[in-house]
């Protein structure tokens, strides 16, 4: 993530970035557990990552991605990001951590997740700063709030006071 464009000052993008950081930290823990053959810990971590990513993806795809698709030139980029979400979701849902093959696939997927996040944080997020209107930002924030169990009214209070976290 760059530190020069101002993304981290936008509450919604700051929240996405925080979610990215949490899931990559969990991914590092998962990789460590898999390399140490600690399957109970790995199984728990994989389930936790999958749950966190489901909420995150629901907010992204229903909000920021939808808004950015309305802008010229972003649909193909966003379609690729969504495809990567689906591939990781499918892998996490079907992986058998008792097999070496699936363990290696999950470890590789955690590395690929870091690359995926860079596409969002270094590409899409900075572009959104200049591409989106106020209405599009509001819709994107509402989608994130719904994905995380916030009602729009209470979420708007957080937006006004900069208290997302």
Q: Per the domain annotation, does 3 fall within a domain?
A: no
In whole angstroms, give the CA distance from residue 102 to residue 90. Answer: 12
**Tokens 């996405």 map to which residue?**
16
Range of the domain at 73: 9-161
In a domain, 53, yes or no: yes
Whole-number pLDDT of residue 11: 81
Q: Are 109 and 91 in contact (CB under 8 A)?
A: yes
- Give pLDDT < 70 ranges for the chain: 1-9, 151-165
How remote is the C-alpha of 103 from its chain's centroid? Answer: 22
pLDDT value of residue 148: 86
pTM, two decimal places? 0.85
pLDDT at 69: 94
119 belongs to a structural domain: yes
Q: Is residue 4 part of a domain?
A: no
d(CA 23, CA 48): 9
Residue 1 lies in a domain: no
pLDDT for 63 equals 95
| Cβ atoms of residues 6 and 118 within 8 Å | no
Asked whether residue 17 is domain-assigned, the answer is yes
pLDDT of residue 151: 55
Tell whether 102 is covered by a domain: yes
| 1-to-6, 19, 21 alpha-carbon distances in Å | 11, 13, 11
Q: Does residue 60 fall inside a structural domain?
A: yes
Q: How many domains does the chain have?
A: 1
| pLDDT recorded at residue 154 | 45
In angstroms, rounded to a whole number, what is the distance separating the alpha carbons of residues 66 and 143? Answer: 10
Model confidence pLDDT, tens digit, residues 63-88: 999 999 999 999 999 999 999 999 99
* Residues comprising the chain, all counted: 165
Helical spans, DSSP H, in the chain: 11-35, 39-59, 65-69, 75-94, 100-119, 125-131, 134-147, 152-161
Q: Which pLDDT value is given to residue 4?
A: 55
């Amino acid at each position: 993530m760059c530190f020069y464009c101002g993304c981290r000052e936008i509450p919604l993008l700051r929240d996405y970035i925080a979610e990215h950081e949490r899931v990559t930290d969990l991914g590092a823990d998962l990789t460590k557990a898999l390399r140490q053959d600690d399957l109970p810990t790995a199984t728990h971590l994989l389930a936790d990552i999958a749950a966190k990513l489901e909420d995150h993806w629901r907010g992204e795809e229903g909000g920021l991605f939808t808004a950015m698709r309305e802008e010229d030139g972003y649909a193909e980029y966003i379609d690729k990001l969504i495809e990567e979400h689906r591939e990781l979701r499918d892998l996490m849902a079907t992986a058998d951590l008792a097999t070496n093959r699936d363990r290696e696939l999950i470890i590789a997927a955690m590395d690929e997740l870091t690359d995926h996040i860079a596409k969002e944080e270094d590409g899409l997020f900075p572009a959104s700063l200049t591409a989106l209107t106020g209405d599009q930002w509001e819709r994107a924030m509402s989608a994130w709030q719904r994905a995380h169990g916030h009602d729009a009214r209470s979420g708007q209070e957080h937006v006004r006071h900069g208290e997302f976290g």
